[in-house]
Structure 1
Amino acid sequence: MQNTRVKLLASDFLTLTPYSLSSSSDPTMFFRKGKQITRIETVGVVVSRERKGDRYLKFIIDDGTGCISCILWLNQLNSTYFARRNPSDVRLIADMAQDYATSIQLGVLARVRGRVTGFRGVLQITVDDVFLERDPNAEILHWLNCVNLARNFYDVPTVRPPLRRPIQHFHNNNNNNNATTTNNKKTFENLK
């Protein structure tokens, strides 16, 4: 489930187990039932919104099972992280982030997709994109998708396929060919 957008309810998101490579830093990896999760998608109502100038917008999504903290970065034009990228691409990313920031208002139903991160002991989504949902049933459909995916995929233990046997080379020997043909006929007869 790594690098796949996993659809999660807030109650499942809040149970992710953080793992840090060093003891002094915020977690860098997150696991759910032994499977690493890096990106998620969730749907809920915006219940809190706090903007810090042109640096970031922090908001909270409530899907009825809990609340997820989300952060949308708005400092792409000043960030050293984007310094090596093409300036026109950075401008496009910055414009999209500004559009997302203006559309995220209290009470709107939003679909949020992004990376799972941690900051000061709090799980959060670092937002990649936001879509405003116009259909009020979108949240319920998201719930159903999450439950179905959890039952059929996310909570299923990983089963590794058995190792393949090496292919045996057949000798051009009539005795082996006759024995194989006889065994195949017997097997075919048993299947009837």
Structure 2
Amino acid sequence: MQTAAMDPTEEPPSVLWGLDPVFSAFARLYINDILQMTESIQVPGVYFYNQHPIYKVDVLGTVVYRRERDDFFCYGVDDGTGVVNCLCWKTKLFQDEDGPEKSVKFSDGAYGGFNPAAELKKLREAHQQHCRLEIGELLRVRGTVKTSRQQREIMASTYYKVDDPVMAAQITWMMEVPQLYRECYDKQFDFKTDAEGSSANSSLSKATNMIKDFLKQKSVTRFRSYDVQDLLQPLISIKPQTSTAEQEPVAGPSACQQLRQLLKEVLQLLQDEGVVYRKVKSQDEVYHVTAQDKDLHIAVKDIIREDSKRQKYAEKGCHVLHVLSAVRQRHSLNVSRAALDLVLKALERDSDIVSTSDSRYTAF
């Protein structure tokens, strides 16, 4: 496999990578995405998935081939999307075949019937059993991503066989990984905003959190912009702007204009995140709070319950885009995908619906 490199203009500066929480975590990516990640041109060994810098991963899959050497195992791991080569080093317990019990003799009587050498041998055998896997067994690997001889592979720091007779571990994995993709990996991280830390961005972040806290604490179902405008007043600076050269006041937006602009940006951000939406767009700006809008929740639940009975959706469930289209027809044209995702998450948390696969839902 030929390793791809990012366009220098698209790759964020390496000094900012630590701002992305994915960089310091073992990313649970599909193997196909690991194989296709683009390599950094600044630091070889670091790769990018959707602008997220990644150098260590966590995979779970079936062993499809194995090779054993004196110092390591080489396992081919398949998670259903692709196969990656995993280099798993043997530990000292694995390599010491003779074991310390050969050179040191213990008396059972001296330890009240407990034989340390025999117990150590059992421990080593159990360890070897979990490290030496056969084809068809389930393996979990954590380690760094490397490219060797133009082939992508994982240098394991931790690996072990997963005993999963009823597929509980695999089912849990298949439910958690798509959620990580939706909430983290498929969303680009804004390095520029976090790096600059400008007062404008800081004020916007504070203002957004203030409105969110107010809506949550007061259990607000709907509001108008002037209902929350005064909450942001402490964030507006009333000091006159000055030029750096002469330190004289210069023309700039008034405090009232700054307040209105900040509120406009906050409300737009809340709509982008799906926290609020406008059921009807008119001059009377009424914003509905997604988490508190019972009518919206009932509409979504009824759509999934009714359409899940149809032959077309009975097996796999209703796709999220179908639900979104139906909600816009029955409830409001202005319901966004982000708002629907919040409602679906709440309904699933309350066991009103269940996700049958990624982006598909059915009712109990």
C-alpha displacement of 1:75: 8.1
Contact 1:100/1:129, CA 8 A, preserved across alignment: no
Aligned to 1:5: 26
Aligned residue among 172, 176, 182 for 1:145: 176
Query: Which has the larger share of strand?
Result: 1
C-alpha displacement of 1:152: 0.9
1:124 corresponds to which letter in structure 2?
E
Rounded to whole Å, the distance in 2 between the matches of 1:102 and 1:134 is 12
Aligned residue among 81, 86, 107 for 1:65: 81
C-alpha displacement of 1:63: 0.9
Rounded to whole Å, the distance in 2 between the matches of 1:32 and 1:40 is 12
C-alpha displacement of 1:21: 5.0
For structure 2, list consecutive stretches of 5 or more residues without a partner in the other structure.
1-21, 93-123, 203-234, 240-254, 256-364
Rounded to whole Å, the distance in 1 between the matches of 2:30 and 2:129 is 22
TM-score by length of 1: 0.65
- Name the Cα RMSD after superposition: 3.0
How do residues 64-83 of structure 1 correspond to structure 2 at under 5 angstroms?
64-74=80-90
Rounded to whole Å, the distance in 2 between the matches of 1:18 and 1:164 is 34
Q: Flag the structure with larger Rg.
A: 2
1:35 equivalenced with 2:52 (yes/no): yes
Question: Secondary structure at 2:172's aligned position in 1?
Answer: helix
Rounded to whole Å, the distance in 2 between the matches of 1:100 and 1:15 is 33
Name the % identity. Answer: 23
Rounded to whole Å, the distance in 2 between the matches of 1:153 and 1:28 is 22
1:144 corresponds to which letter in structure 2?
M
Contact 1:116/1:123, CA 8 A, preserved across alignment: yes
TM-score by length of 2: 0.36
Aligned to 2:107: none
Query: Which has the larger share of helix?
Result: 2
C-alpha displacement of 1:122: 0.9
Deviations 1:119-177 (A, max 9, x none): 1111111001113222223223222222111111111122335622699698xxxxxxx
For the structure 1 residues 100 and 150, does the alpha-carbon distance in structure 2 shift closer, same or farther, using more than 3 Å as the test? farther
RCO higher in 1 or 2 (8 Å CA, sep ≥ 6)? 1
